Amino acid sequence: MKWLALVLSFVFGRLNMRPRGFKDAAIEIFDEVSFRSRRMVTLILVGVASVIFFTGGLFISLLDLSMQWDRTGSIVWSATLSTGVGLILLASAAFAVVFLRAWPGATKAKQQIKRKHKHEQEEEEMDRKRPTSLEHALSALVMDYVKEREIRRAARGPETSAYAGENVAGGTTAPNRETPRSHVH
C-alpha cells in the first residue's frame, strides 16, 4: 500500500508541476526499502550473533574441561564450565527462535507442510475408499455372470420365470427339463 502511495505521490507531484528531482524520489524509495528490510537484517544479525555465542560457549566449555582434566585428572562443575554451557543453551534458544518462528518463510513453510500433509491424508482416505483392481475384476466377473444368466433366461422365453414349473400368468408348465450337472466326475 505504501508503494502505491509513493507512486501516486510521484505521479501527482509531476502533474502538479511541483519541482521534484530524482534525488527526492530516490531517497523516498531508499527509505521504504530500508524500512521493509529492517526485520530481515535484525533476524540475520541475531542469527549470526547466536552462532558466535554458541561457538564461544563451546570453546569455553571444552577449554575448561580439558584444563580440569590436565590439572586434577577429574572433572567438576565450575563457574567457567557453567558459563560456557549457559552460552551454548542461550545461543541455541535464540537461533531456534529466529529461524523456526520469527523468520518470514518459517510460518509459510509450516503452513505448506501442514497443507501438504493434510492433502496426503485426504488422498490416502480417497485411496482407501476407491476399489482396487482386484475388486474391479471381481465385480466385472460377477456382472458378466449376471448378464449371462439374464440372456439365458430371455432365451428360454418370457413364459417361464425363475421358478421351474411356474409361468407368468400363474399356471403351471412342464417341469424344467435341464438335468443338473455334477461337479464331480
Task: Decide if 143 is inside a domain.
Answer: yes
The answer to which of 28-37, 38-47, 64-73 has the lowest mean pLDDT is: 28-37
Domain span at residue 76 reads 24-105
Same domain, 141 and 99: no
Name the residue type at position 7. Answer: V
The string of pLDDT tens digits covering residues 128-155 is 666 677 777 788 888 888 999 999 888 8
Same domain, 100 and 125: no
Quick one: cell of 18?
Answer: 511541483
When the pLDDT of each residue in the chain is averaged and rounded to a whole number, the result is 76
Instruction: Say how many domains are in the chain.
Output: 2
Contacts (Cβ under 8 Å, ≥6 apart) of 164: 175, 176
Task: Decide if 94 is inside a domain.
Answer: yes
Same domain, 100 and 128: no
Same domain, 82 and 40: yes
Cα–Cα distance between 64 and 60 in angstroms, integer?
Answer: 6
CA trace torsion 168, 169, 173, 179 (10° rounding) = 10
Domain end, chosen from 73, 105, 137, is at: 105
Same domain, 91 and 31: yes
Task: Decide if 125 is inside a domain.
Answer: yes
Same domain, 99 and 38: yes
Same domain, 125 and 100: no
Task: Decide if 89 is inside a domain.
Answer: yes
pLDDT at 23: 77
- Mean pLDDT over 79-107 rounds to 85
- Mean pLDDT over 111-138 rounds to 75
Same domain, 83 and 148: no
The string of pLDDT tens digits covering residues 20-33 is 677 777 788 877 77
Between 77 and 169, where is the model more confident? 77
Same domain, 64 and 124: no
Task: Decide if 169 is inside a domain.
Answer: no
Percent of the chain with pLDDT over 90: 23
Other beta carbons within 10 Å of 48 = 12
Same domain, 100 and 123: no
Same domain, 59 and 86: yes
